[in-house]
Structure 1
Amino acid sequence: MNFKRDVNRFYKEEDGKLLAEITWVPQGDTVAVDHTFVDPSLRGQGVAEQLVDRVVEEMQKEQKKIKPVCPYVVELFKRKPDKYEHVQAFD
Structure 2
Amino acid sequence: MMAEVKKGHNKYYVGDSESNPEAIMTYVPGGTQIIIDHTVVGDSLRGQGVGKQLVEAAVKDARENNFKIHATCPFAKSVLERTPEYHDVYGG
TM-score (norm 1): 0.86
Asked if residue 51 in structure 1 is aligned to residue 51 in structure 2, the reply is no
Q: Which runs of 5+ in 1 are unaligned?
A: none
**CA-CA distance at 1:79 after TM superposition:** 2.1
Aligned length: 89
Counterpart Cα distance in 1 of 2:81 and 2:69:
13
**CA-CA distance at 1:53 after TM superposition:** 0.2
Counterpart Cα distance in 2 of 1:41 and 1:6:
21
| Residue from 40, 45, 57 that aligns with 1:42 | 45
Asked if residue 9 in structure 1 is aligned to residue 11 in structure 2, the reply is yes
| Residue from 77, 88, 91 that aligns with 1:89 | 91
Q: Which moved more, 1:3-12 or 1:62-71?
A: 3-12
Counterpart Cα distance in 1 of 2:54 and 2:8:
13
- Checking the alignment, whether the CA contact within 8 Å between 2:69 and 2:90 is kept in structure 1 is yes
Moved over 3 A (4+): 14-17
Show CA shifts across 1:31-81 (max 9, x none).
10111110011111100000000011111111000001111011112222x
Q: Which runs of 5+ in 2 are unaligned?
A: none
| Residue from 77, 87, 91 that aligns with 1:74 | 77
TM-score (norm 2): 0.85
Paired-residue identity, %: 34
